[in-house]
């Protein structure tokens, strides 16, 4: 089982209510057969943030579904574009092998599966 992490920095945008965003992610994850589990942890250290942990045997399929249903969504997409960093666990765990799938900073080079 591998993990995909959606890191949200809600102070970067006021386009959506973070509670609504988290509920949308949780609902979608519950509907996707490819997602094994979904959990979130929030903290204020260094500024408010939330990490959403999504586990799956097929991270590429999970990312494809999440990307099309959430990150390309008409209302939620702009929020994620301003607040989100998405990483996926690589073949060798997290040690210099993770994938950067999305970043609010357009200058960051993104990886693909």
Query: In this structure, how many other beta carbons lie within 10 angstroms of the beta carbon of residue 88?
Result: 22
**pLDDT tens-digit map of 35-77:** 999 999 999 888 899 999 999 999 999 999 999 888 888 888 9
**What confidence score (pLDDT) does residue 50 get?**
94
pTM metric for this prediction: 0.91
Tokens of 15: 């386009």
Look at residue 59 and give its three-state secondary structure: helix
DSSP secondary structure, 62-109, as one string = HHHHHIIIIIT-TTHHHHHHHHEEEEE-BTTBTTTT-EEEEESSTTSP
Q: Which of 98, 100, 103 is nearest to 111 (CA)?
A: 100
């Amino acid at each position: 089982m591998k993990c995909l992490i959606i890191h949200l920095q809600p102070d970067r945008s006021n386009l959506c209510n973070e509670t609504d965003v988290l509920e949308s992610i949780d609902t979608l994850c519950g509907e996707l057969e490819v997602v094994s589990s979904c959990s979130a942890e929030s903290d204020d250290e260094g500024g408010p943030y939330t990490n959403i942990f999504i586990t799956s045997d097929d991270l590429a399929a999970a990312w494809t579904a999440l990307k099309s249903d959430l990150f390309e969504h008409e209302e939620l997409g702009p929020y994620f574009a301003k607040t989100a960093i998405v990483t996926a666990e690589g073949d060798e765990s997290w040690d210099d092998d993770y994938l950067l799938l999305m970043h609010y900073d357009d200058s960051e080079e993104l990886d693909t599966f």
